Structure 1
């Protein structure tokens, strides 16, 4: 199984757990004299099976990510950390540029003039550079996801 396939399966399992959680809570109590729409105990057992599979997938994905070498980006784990920080950096820069430009702020003539404390043009250029770097890194991550096999499950607690 390719890493990308495991990531898709992990996302499906996470969604399934959330759906089951919602159905369990909706059927955990019912009115006397009526029957619940679904068997909450059976749903709970199904959730446990999905969670067991999810734990195995996450462990295998993490094990694989720590061994996949992306060259100058380090391991896949390193690249994922870099990608997360790039996303945050882009968000901070665009928020700062929006705030400094007065984006969404209306000013009346009777109010005191507001001045910008940050260089909006430079912030937007920086945000564009970060977005470009993020897209490039994300492309390398996606390529690796489709070219690397998921490592087998080792013993619990081992590396």
Structure 2
């Protein structure tokens, strides 16, 4: 199984567990004289089995990521951490540029009011955000390539 397939299986298991949670809570209590639509105890048993499978799958994904060498990007774990930080950095730069430019705030200034001045260089922030976005896309492509070319460890 490739890492990408394991990630898809993990997402499917997480969705299934959330669906089971909703079904369990919907059937955990019922009115006297009525029967619940589903057996909450049986659903709970299914959820327990899925949780055990999810735990093992996450363990294998994490073990693979910790050992998988991506060259200049370090291990897959290093690359994932870098990607998370790049996403946060990009968001911060975009928000700072938007705030400094006054866009999106619905702010309108009257002639009689004091002028608002940007405390940050908007153009430079947007250029930096573009550079970070490019770096993020390139790193994400390398991560995706590794996910589809490397097998999941046992």
Query: Taking structure 1 as the reference length, what is the TM-score of the superposition?
Result: 0.93
Secondary structure of 1:42's aligned partner: helix
Question: What TM-score comes out, normalization by structure 2 length?
Answer: 0.96
Residue 54 of structure 1 corresponds to 54
Which blocks of at least 5 consecutive residues in structure 1 are unaligned? 153-159
SS at match of 1:115: coil
What is the aligned partner in structure 2 of residue 117 from structure 1?
119
In the alignment, which residue of structure 2 is the partner of 1:6? 6
* 1:145 equivalenced with 2:147 (yes/no): yes
Q: May I ask how many residue pairs the two structures share in their alignment?
A: 152
- Asked if structure 1 preserves the Cα contact closer than 8 Å seen for 2:109 and 2:115, the reply is no
How far, CA to CA, are the matches of 1:95 and 1:87 in structure 2?
12
**Cα deviations by residue, 1:116-157 (Å, 9 ceiling, x for unpaired):** 1111100000000000000000000000001111000xxxxx
Q: Tell me the equivalent position of 1:155.
A: none
Distance in structure 1 (CA, Å) of the matches to 2:7 and 2:60: 10
Gaps of at least 5 residues in structure 2 are: none
Distance 1:39 1:113 in 2: 66
Q: Hey, what's the Cα distance between the residues in 2 that align with 1:2 and 1:35?
A: 44
2:108 aligned residue: 107
Match of 1:94 in 2: 94
How far residue 37 of structure 1 moved from its aligned partner, in angstroms, is: 1.3
